[in-house]
Amino acid sequence: MKLKALLVFVLAAVLVSACSVAFAADRKIVVGFAQIGAESDWRVANTNSIRTACEEAGFDLRFVDGQQRQENQIKALRDFITQGVDVIGFSPVVESGWDEVIAEINEAGIPLILLDRTTDIAGDNYFVTWIGSDFLEEGRKAGRWLVEYMQKTGRGRDEINIVELQGTVGSGPAIDRKKGFEEVIKDYPNLRITQSQTGDFTRDLGKTVMESFLKRGERIDVLYAHNDDMALGAIQAIKEAGLKPAEDVIVIGVDAVKGAFEAMLAGEMNVTVECSPLLGPQFVEAVQAIMAGKELPKITYSIEYVYSQEVTRRVVDGRQF
Ligand code: AHR
């Protein structure tokens, strides 16, 4: 009798644990994502890509739009810890000021994936993988394009005044796109940045700041904008000032969003350096690899190109962002 009772107990225990294993395998993977905001067409496309990929993968996605404020993102990250999500995805609005909250994520043992942007925390132990663009190289590409364009158009030795619209102060792309561009033009003393100010990656500020550059009355030969949204806002300001964008003022942007292609086809913008926002599928793959206990590379850069006015309507129509 005793043996029979024991057998029943063991059988029941086996059934209960089998059920809980099955539940664990069936349960949705819970992912918290702390996004920067919706400051640009790029960001909107990036958010759509993440949402769609996570939905297709069947994840339970907890998505928070930080509205470009660091404190909102810190709160979102702390909420994800409290909720005990399986994996956290994070795109930091600026590079500094994350030490404390990231230490909390690490202490909670939640794997962290950095998407698009990184932080200034030393070392790479605090995150599993980072997927994004090489912002420094994007800045260099913009600089190299300008040097070649000036030489090709016979202005290689002319004194050229460049105005710069920087991205969000303290953000990775603003720091690196500036650095990469300056690294290239420093070998050409006739190419000089005469005015430089932030437009916070938004179209409205791009326009306002360009208006203030123009009001100073100094000759402007080139506009280098750290993203296309600011370039598009600035193009508006250039036109309102009675000048021809892409002719009187050479316009360089970054991102390669559809709006920039349309501007190039209309002859109002010269070039855009690609920065791909379509990171959702790679993000999902990384989450799945983590959940399966697989190793991931520390860095994965997206493959990106430079597009100038020779771009065709077919390429533009086929563009996803
Ligand atoms: O981090 C990528 C940058 O952020 C994009 O270039 C810009 O448009 C966005 O807001």
What is the per-residue pLDDT across 14-25, written as a single tens digit (0 to 9) for each? 444 444 444 456
The per-residue pLDDT for 153 is: 98
The per-residue pLDDT for 163 is: 98
Whether 227 is in the pocket of ligand 1, judged by its Cβ within 6 Å, is yes
Give CA–CA dist 307/311, Å, rounded. 6
Whether 178 is in the pocket of ligand 1, judged by its Cβ within 6 Å, is no
Whether 140 is in the pocket of ligand 1, judged by its Cβ within 6 Å, is no
The per-residue pLDDT for 25 is: 60
| Nearest ligand 1 atom to alpha carbon 91 | 1
Whether 224 is in the pocket of ligand 1, judged by its Cβ within 6 Å, is no
Whether 177 is in the pocket of ligand 1, judged by its Cβ within 6 Å, is no
The per-residue pLDDT for 315 is: 87
Query: 74-131, pLDDT tens digit by residue?
Result: 999 999 999 999 999 999 999 999 999 999 999 999 999 999 999 999 999 999 999 9
Instruction: Determine the distance from the C-alpha atom of residue 182 to the mean position of all C-alpha atoms in its chain, rounded to a whole number.
Output: 21
- Measured by CA distance, the residue closest to atom 3 of ligand 1 is 173
The per-residue pLDDT for 169 is: 98
Alpha helices in 154-257 (DSSP H): 172-185, 203-215, 228-240
- Residue 283's nearest CA partner among 28, 81, 24, 35 is 35
Residue ranges of the chain with per-residue pLDDT less than 50: 1, 3, 5-23
Q: Ligand 1 centroid to 259 CA: how many Å?
A: 14
| Nearest ligand 1 atom to alpha carbon 226 | 6
Kindly report the pTM of this predicted structure: 0.91
Q: Ligand 1 centroid to 83 CA: how many Å?
A: 29
